[in-house]
Structure 1
């Protein structure tokens, strides 16, 4: 099968490219604006890996690049998701991405009929969270007769200084109003609200998390009939949260236009540009973790399943932080499954609808990403 990793030499995409390059059944092409970095990565991967320079803002050019591919794994910033999906429809290719941060995911779901009519599958958000969290939740739901509540928590240890992934995405997560589903209704909360201390599996341990805008909330309340509560909390490093608190306090995340030396821009536009110019953190020791609690009823009794995972950096050979591994590898696995025709449905679907959770969890285990299941009650 022919698979294109779009943004395939970026911070997250290179893990997807590495996963796919190890599969003898895959003809891999890394498509990226940075062709020099793409070519360097290609020479470091097993097998024959093609590269192509791409401008995703040029629709016709993007379609030309994607034509003749079977699957497109999109590791670009979520702002480009719709553009790439539309190009995939024209190129007649399956599609996957790393999430749309709730609001973009809602827009992407509107392309469900178009992908279904084309007999194509688009998996929306198949990284770590969203992605692994959705699959774990689907596994828990399959154990129950009725799902009442879903609680998702993430945390990390190590990882070095600065932003763990796209600074723009992290700032969005910290400044946009988070959404939760409580008592059968969607509620919009204040940024950084709902602070809670919780314990993740070793060696991550105790962390402080808070509500954050996330794609799981855009789909899970609809996927699992009758669910009453769905919420998500993320725990970034205290240093990173402090940095963002200062940026917010200085109004540098404002979207209001200002004029400076005959130029008009917003503080947030400047901040996004400036942070994008900073050196990216190298591969350092890091542990990423999530915990998903799924509660409901089984055979008339209250039942609670808990799913957790810890993923460590892969420095030897891969040279990748845990953030890249647990985000990029799942998309590579899903791309292989979709390319083999093993998606559960066509259309634009979240992972909990598009993928068989038992199969996917086994595929992860074979890559040393182990989702632990525990029946709590």
Structure 2
């Protein structure tokens, strides 16, 4: 199979690229990005004959279509702001598509392309990292085993023991984190979407070791947008997503947001126009590059917990799905944050490119990915999902 990766010089997408390079069924991996210098450095580090690179502007529709025609599937590893543009190029190129997620508003718009993807005989999937991604398939596993489904509660807890009090190393893309912390989150409650204020609805969750007890808050996420549609047939009434970032990082993120560094509006500084968010992203990238060289062993961890409540054979029933992810020992250069998002996206992309996902159209991960096949693929690199079933006697 031949796979195209857009945003191929990005941080988190490395977890997918490394898997593609090592998978014997992947014959070619194309990396496209606007940053040619970073692409060339990445190709040199990968040292694989499978990898080809090219500078590409995702705003150039014609160029994008011509590139994508040559590949079985595309992983869009760039910002969610480009999801629709890449999807439109995939439609014209007749290339399967997936991405790391569309937050809430983008995902709702993406799902509207279902008929167009079906008509072109291809499949698109929004959200194929860990959350969204793994958690969606975990929810689907429980959904398939219940007769009725009332609620889905998704909780994502992250710790990083490499951080110190002066560190500002994001677990994934800083611009995505800024959107998550600045945009109003949504919940689905009593069959309707409800908009919350940032940081409203905080709760404490006891995650499995080594994450432990964390305070989680709602952030804007695609699972809340997609599951009420995917799970409608069994009566879904409530969906929520809450996140806990590493405490040392999260406190600083709130602070820089309060100062205005999340803004996309240009400001004038002594005659020079700058965009605060771009300045923060640039400085963060420099800091991450420096810290990555200093880290001897990555010590960050993530817990994904999905609680699905419903009925089975007329009795109140509940599935508790847990997945704990730590750095992958065979990729010691890579943090858990990069591995846990990039590798699951590689699994979904390979399932698309190999034809193991048969349905045509545009879906969220819970709508179309074969659960056991997916879990088996994750387990090959040490990511394991556990389930507990509890039924009222």
Query: Post-superposition shift, 1:278?
Result: 4.4
Q: Deviations over 1:274-321 (max 9, x none)?
A: 545544442622111110001100001111111111111135545111
Query: Post-superposition shift, 1:241?
Result: 2.2
1:324 and 1:101 map into 2 onto residues whose CA distance is: 18
Q: Indicate the SS of the match to 1:177.
A: coil
Structure 1 residue 61 corresponds to structure 2 residue 60: no
How has the CA–CA distance of structure 1 residues 178 and 270 changed in structure 2, closer, same or farther, with 3 Å as cutoff? same
2:104 and 2:69 map into 1 onto residues whose CA distance is: 29
2:301 and 2:253 map into 1 onto residues whose CA distance is: 22
Q: Indicate the SS of the match to 2:193.
A: strand
Structure 1 residue 101 corresponds to structure 2 residue 103: yes
Q: Which residues of structure 1 form unaligned runs of 5+?
A: none
Give the alignment's TM-score, normalised by structure 1. Answer: 0.93
Structure 1 residue 312 corresponds to structure 2 residue 326: yes
1:270 and 1:14 map into 2 onto residues whose CA distance is: 23
Structure 1 residue 78 corresponds to structure 2 residue 87: no
2:312 and 2:330 map into 1 onto residues whose CA distance is: 44
Query: Post-superposition shift, 1:196?
Result: 1.0
1:222 to 205, 223, 229: 229
Structure 1 residue 14 corresponds to structure 2 residue 21: no
8 Å Cα contact 1:15-1:329 kept in structure 2: yes
1:269 and 1:51 map into 2 onto residues whose CA distance is: 25
Query: Post-superposition shift, 1:245?
Result: 2.4
Matches within 5 A, 1:170-319: 170-225=177-232, 226-254=235-263, 258-262=267-271, 267-268=276-277, 270-272=279-281, 274-276=283-285, 278-280=287-289, 281-282=291-292, 284-314=298-328, 316-319=330-333
How has the CA–CA distance of structure 1 residues 329 and 55 changed in structure 2, closer, same or farther, with 3 Å as cutoff? same
How has the CA–CA distance of structure 1 residues 276 and 9 changed in structure 2, closer, same or farther, with 3 Å as cutoff? closer
Give the alignment's TM-score, normalised by structure 2. Answer: 0.90
Query: Post-superposition shift, 1:354?
Result: 1.8
Partner residue in 2 for 1:122: 124
State the number of aligned residues: 377
Q: Indicate the SS of the match to 2:75.
A: strand
1:331 to 345, 348, 352: 345
8 Å Cα contact 2:12-2:173 kept in structure 1: no
Q: Deviations over 1:206-252 (max 9, x none)?
A: 11111111010110011112111100100012222221222233344
Query: Post-superposition shift, 1:185?
Result: 1.2
Q: Indicate the SS of the match to 2:66.
A: helix
Q: Which stretch of structure 1 is more off in the superposition, 167-176 or 28-37?
A: 28-37
1:287 and 1:23 map into 2 onto residues whose CA distance is: 25
Q: Indicate the SS of the match to 1:376.
A: strand
How has the CA–CA distance of structure 1 residues 276 and 286 changed in structure 2, closer, same or farther, with 3 Å as cutoff? closer
Q: Which stretch of structure 1 is more off in the superposition, 27-36 or 346-355?
A: 27-36
2:47 and 2:238 map into 1 onto residues whose CA distance is: 44
1:249 and 1:74 map into 2 onto residues whose CA distance is: 30
1:109 and 1:287 map into 2 onto residues whose CA distance is: 31
Give the aligned CA root-mean-square deviation in angstroms: 2.1
2:53 to 51, 54, 60: 51
8 Å Cα contact 1:178-1:211 kept in structure 2: yes
Partner residue in 2 for 1:358: 372
Partner residue in 1 for 2:382: 368
1:266 and 1:32 map into 2 onto residues whose CA distance is: 21
8 Å Cα contact 1:344-1:356 kept in structure 2: no
1:64 and 1:121 map into 2 onto residues whose CA distance is: 19
Query: Post-superposition shift, 1:47?
Result: 5.2
Query: Post-superposition shift, 1:53?
Result: 2.2
